[in-house]
């Protein structure tokens, strides 16, 4: 699915939570992206960091929605 389709499927954090449950991932860009109470974040090796998509991220068409990073593809 496209970047815009994947963004529309992400859930917002529940009240009192910092992050939503659903993440979007693309094999092309190799990033896990989710919604936080502060906006979009990308998962890093130690802590989520703010995410602003670049043209490469937006042009990827192989996004999927996951709940767990263990099931990457």
pLDDT of residue 73: 45
Instruction: Average the pLDDT over 2-20 and give the result.
Output: 95
pLDDT of residue 71: 52
Please provide the DSSP assignment of 37-73 as one string: TTEEEE--SSS-EE----HHHHH---EEEES-TT---
Structure tokens at 24: 């979007």
pLDDT per position as a tens digit, 26-71: 999 999 999 999 999 999 888 889 999 999 999 999 999 999 776 5
Cα 23 to Cα 43: distance, rounded to the nearest angstrom = 9
């Amino acid at each position: 699915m496209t970047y815009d389709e994947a963004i529309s499927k992400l859930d917002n954090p529940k009240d009192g939570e910092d992050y939503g449950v659903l993440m979007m991932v693309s094999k092309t860009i190799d990033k896990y992206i989710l919604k936080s109470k502060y906006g979009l974040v990308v998962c890093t090796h130690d802590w989520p960091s703010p995410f602003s998509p670049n043209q490469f991220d937006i042009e990827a068409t192989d996004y999927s929605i996951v709940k767990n990073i263990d099931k990457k593809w």
